[in-house]
Amino acid sequence: MLTDLSYPLKDNTVPFWAVPMIAIILPFFVILVCYFIRRDVYDLHHAILGLLFSVLITGVITDAIKDAVGRPRPDFFWRCFPDGKGSCTLSTCNCCIIHAQVFDPVTKDVMCTGLKSVIKEGHKSFPSGHTSWSFAGLGFLALYLSGKIRVFDHRGHVAKLCIVFLPLLIAALVGISRVDDYWHHWQDVFAGGLLGITVSSFCYMQFFPAPYDVDGWGPHAYFQKLAESRNCNPSNTINSSNAQQSELESVYVDTQHGRGPSGASTHDSSPILDETNRLRRY
C-alpha cells in the first residue's frame, strides 16, 4: 500500500486552466463552425445547452465523489512528508523514533508535515477530474459530430469515424497524462472517463436524437416545430375542402331547381357537373 503512494510529486502535464479550454472552448468552437455552415439557431442553442449541462453535471458529481471517497493520490507520501522522513529503512531503534514522530500517540493517525492544502488535494484521487471533464465535453462533441456528418448512414465511410474518434482520443490522452504524472491511479482515470461519457450521452439525448437515428442530424426542438407547422397545414386544407364542398352543394341545389351554376338550364351544364351530380345521388 505504501509503495503505491510513494511516487514522486510532479507537475501537471495538462494544467488545471487547460481543462476548461479542452472540455468547453474547443467543443464550443466546433459547434460555432457548424452554425456558420448550416445557420440553424435551434441547433446552436441546444448544442451549447447540452455541452454546458454535460460539463456542469459531470463536475458536480466528480467533486462530490472525490470528497466522499477521499482516496490518496499515488504521490501522497511526498505530500505528507516533503522531507521524506516518514519511511522506516533504518535500524530498529531509529524506526521506533520515526514511528513515534509520524503517528499520533493518542489517535494513532499519521501526522503529516506538509502543507494542509497540498495534503487535502492529495485525498482527491478518485475519480479523475481532468478525465471526467474531458470526456464530458469532448464526448458530447463526438456525439454531436456523429449526428451532423451522419456516421451511421450504413455507407462505411472510415473518414467519418476518424473525425468522431478524434475528440475521444484527445480525452483519452488527457487521462493517460494523469497516470503518467502520478496524480491518479488507473482506476481513477477509468472511472472518470466512464462518468464523463455517460453524462455526456444523457445530456446529448436530452436535446438531440440518437446519432444512428434518421433524424439524428437535428435537435428535437427543430422537429417539434416542424411537426407543429405540419399540424397547422391540414386545418387549412380542411377549410379549403369545406369551401369546395359548399360550392358543390350550392351547385347541386341549383341543379335540383332546374338551373345551372349561373342560373341557366341544367341541359347547359357541363359533363363534369353532371358526373358530380350523379355521384352525389349514390
Q: Which of 149, 184, 189 is nearest to 165 (CA)?
A: 149
Which residue among the candidates 130, 154, 157, 257 is catalytic per the annotation?
Answer: 130
Q: What is the pTM of this model?
A: 0.73
Give the cell for residue 222.
427543430
Domain boundaries, the chain: 3-75+122-218, 224-281
Radius of gyration of the chain (CA): 35
Mean pLDDT of the chain: 79
Question: Is-catalytic flag, 130?
Answer: yes
Q: Confidence class of residue 232 from pLDDT cuts 50, 70 and 90?
A: confident
In this predicted structure, the answer to whether residue 194 has a pLDDT above a threshold of 60 is yes
Cβ pair 2, 176 in contact under 8 A: no
Mean of pLDDT values over 82-97: 55
- Tens digits of residue pLDDT in 110-141: 778 878 888 888 899 999 999 999 999 999 99
The percentage of the chain sitting over the pLDDT mark of 70, rounded to a whole number, equals 72
Which residue among the candidates 154, 184, 185, 257 is catalytic per the annotation?
Answer: 184
- Tens digits of residue pLDDT in 14-35: 999 999 999 999 999 999 999 9
Q: How many CB atoms lie within 10 A of CB 159?
A: 8
